[in-house]
Amino acid sequence: MRLGVCYYPEHWPESTWESDARRMAQMGISRVRIAEFAWSRIEPEPGRYEWAWLDRAVDTLARHGLEVVMGTPTASPPKWLVDAHPDILPVLHDGRAMQFGSRRHYDISSASYRQECARIVEAMTRRYGEHRAVVAWQTDNEFGCHNTLPSYTPAALTRFRRWLVARYETIDALNAAWGNVFWSMEYRGFDEIELPTHTPTDANPSHVLDFRRFQSGEVASFHQLQADLIRKHAPGRDILHNFMGFYSAFDHYAFARHGLDVAAWDSYPVPRTEVLPLPEADKHCWARTGHPDVSAFSHDLYRGVGKGRMWVMEQQAGPVNWAPWNPVPQPGMVRLWTWEAFAHGAELVSYFRWRQCPFAQEQMHSGLNAPDDELSPGGEEVMRVGAELRGLGTPAYGAMPSERAPVALLFDYEADWVIETQRHGADFDYQHLVFEWYSAFRSFGIDVDIVSARDDVSAYRLVAAPTLPILPDSVVEQISQGGNHWVFGPRTGSKSETFAIVDGLPPGKLRSVLPMRVAEVESLRPSLKPSLRLDGIDGEAVRWREHVQPGAGTEVLVRFDDGLPALLRRERVTYMAACFDRALLGAAIAKCLRDAGIDVSPLPEGLRLRRRGAVRFAINYGDREQRVPAPSGARFLLGSSVVGPIDVAAWIEED
Ligand code: GAL
């Protein structure tokens, strides 16, 4: 459990570097990420490298015992590079090319940009690859940020056509797979295919889905280009990328197979809560803390993406600049978010940023220090965390990996692309649905691992899939072979690999283990709310409902008041035939948990629990003190058996 910080030596007079480094070390920070936007200072003119300043910056940090996470600067190509290769600018779906003057102004498919990136990364890794202080490398910065994916350039089109040839081999096969006989969309050759944009009404969903798959692969191969060079010149160093919260334009599990040691991500709980499609009441309630499940969700997802290795590369440390409204976090939150990240398995929590920058785009974004170099309130909290970590004796607890949780929640990137391409109801949002399920589990005190639908989940007591429109064969195989419980949400098994309705109607392959037929589906405007009562709880379907006919052996556990099945089950497999409101979803999930033999104890609002190794954490986002469920005689590492508002407790249950 280490602390880190994001630092931009190029923003500050060199005379401040020494005291910056000294103060970082005093605070308990041990890792510093630098250089990820510094291309114009590293290479001010084509081929003229200026290493001396960066050498001195790295050496200054190293002198104070700090380790460096080096960022490759490819998220911000300098002006001379863009002018020399205008084709690197990305193109939006409306056909506009983006201009120079901020960042991420590049097309992931551009051959000339890939070449230039390989050149700068080769130069940097040759220079610092074996530097003793440089312990890790971050590629680029937040792939896809600012909606820069997908990009609709001629380079993307050429590579997409090639990708389609490899996938379908013949144009007849593609026409058949996409159903192009509809509306006379048939092609005579691959060179007739365009990018799926600028169509008067929806482009063919099969075309859109394949384009998204292609783009996802482009991101992974762009990263791999850099990762291969880092591996070659910086042996033994961790390679990471800083992913974003609730961002799904590329498949992060697949990405992780292209040269990634650690899944790092950037945690901004307050603005993230503001921009998620949550009910207004939630946004208001958690406006200064972030929703209690928002960061945890990404911690658990990225722990899965990184196969156990997860860092927070950028942790919000005060008010930010990029949401519609940017309140100051509640005092204590920076400390709470830090401990929460550790509780969920983070190896490192690194704050954004060391000092607020008084110029340019992010001048309204706080840091651990104000521009006048006084510690900010967030900085004060980090001092406290640093002292607490020292008090704990980090090595004893830090090495503890997270144990397997009782519940696996399947998060699937293609599911998100399918739903986004064909919402069918204006408010059907995949990530929101998964988040609702996650939040329901967490509010019962249950630890959750978020994993791929293709992972082996046989060791989990309960596997939950809020929806999986394209159902992998492996899921049905695992159900048939395993002994664990499964619960699926609506739209599962509804689409084929090529985005058509499955043979024999949904839920497709799931019918072999759960015989039923989804005869009709309906999306529900907010005023249409079919109701029902489950285990004494009244609730309603929202957004989506299916009219299901149960097959042989499938039992209807509960029906809507109008008689339609709401919850169906055969043996260990349960199906929710609608999206449920919070109360009903809670009741349905509690039932599945109990039936899977997992204890359910509802937590007070804002309280969350999480185990890391032998240590159990209680994290209180709420405004009241709460008693924590520690056994008598538990040894407390942080706090005590009563945890105050915006506070944390941690204890060891068995020593
Ligand atoms: C992140 C980004 C940082 C900084 C930060 C501000 O998305 O990686 O460079 O812009 O947001 O919150």
Domain definitions of the chain by residue range: 261-384+392-400, 407-595, 607-652
Cβ atoms within 10 Å, residue 250: 25
Is pTM, for the whole model, over 0.75?
A: yes
Over 90: is that where the pLDDT of 273 sits? yes
The dotted CATH code for 607-652 is 2.60.40.1180
Find the helix or strand (DSSP H, E) in which 408 lies.
strand 407-410
Rounded to the nearest angstrom, the distance between the alpha carbon of 608 and the centre of ligand 1 is: 27
Q: Which residue has the tokens 């006048």?
A: 372
> What confidence tier does 395 reach under pLDDT thresholds 50, 70, 90?
very low
Catalytic residue flag (residue 497)? no
Over 80: is that where the pLDDT of 402 sits? no
Catalytic residue flag (residue 142)? yes
- Angle at alpha carbon of residue 356, lines to 350 and 357, rounded to 5°: 120
Quick check: bond before 231 cis, omega within 30?
no
In the chain, the amino acid numbered 7 is Y
- Cα-based distances in Å from 192 to 91, 160, 171, 504: 20, 12, 10, 33
pLDDT in tens, 225-268: 999 999 999 999 999 999 999 999 999 999 999 999 999 999 99
Ligand 1 atom nearest to 142, measured from its CA? 8
Which of 145, 266, 354 for a ligand 1 pocket mutation test, highest count of atoms within 8 Å of Cβ? Answer: 266
Over 90: is that where the pLDDT of 397 sits? no
Over 80: is that where the pLDDT of 472 sits? yes
Which of 8, 102, 138, 142 for a ligand 1 pocket mutation test, highest count of atoms within 8 Å of Cβ? Answer: 142
d(CA 256, CA 306): 7
Closest CA to 291 of 426, 114, 432, 405: 432
Rounded to the nearest angstrom, the distance between the alpha carbon of 267 and the centre of ligand 1 is: 10
d(CA 374, CA 354): 11
Rounded to the nearest angstrom, the distance between the alpha carbon of 261 and the centre of ligand 1 is: 22
pLDDT in tens, 540-579: 999 999 999 999 999 999 999 999 999 999 999 999 999 9
Q: What is the pLDDT, as a whole number, of residue 409?
A: 98
DSSP state of 518: E
d(CA 469, CA 79): 44
Q: What is the pLDDT, as a whole number, of residue 85?
A: 96
> What confidence tier does 392 reach under pLDDT thresholds 50, 70, 90?
confident
Instruction: Provide the CB-side half-sphere exposure for 274 (13 A, CA).
Output: 18
Do 607-652 and 407-595 have the same topology in CATH? Answer: no
Q: 560 and 534 in contact (C-beta within 8 Å)?
A: no
**Which residues surround ligand 1 with Cβ inside 6 Å?**
141-142, 145, 266, 268, 314, 320, 322, 352, 362, 365
d(CA 631, CA 651): 9
**Per CATH, which fold does 407-595 belong to?**
Rossmann fold (3.40.50)
> From the candidates 43, 67, 116, 142, which is the catalytic residue?
142
pLDDT in tens, 319-366: 999 999 999 999 999 999 999 999 999 999 999 999 999 999 999 999
Find the radius of gyration of the CA atoms of the chain.
25
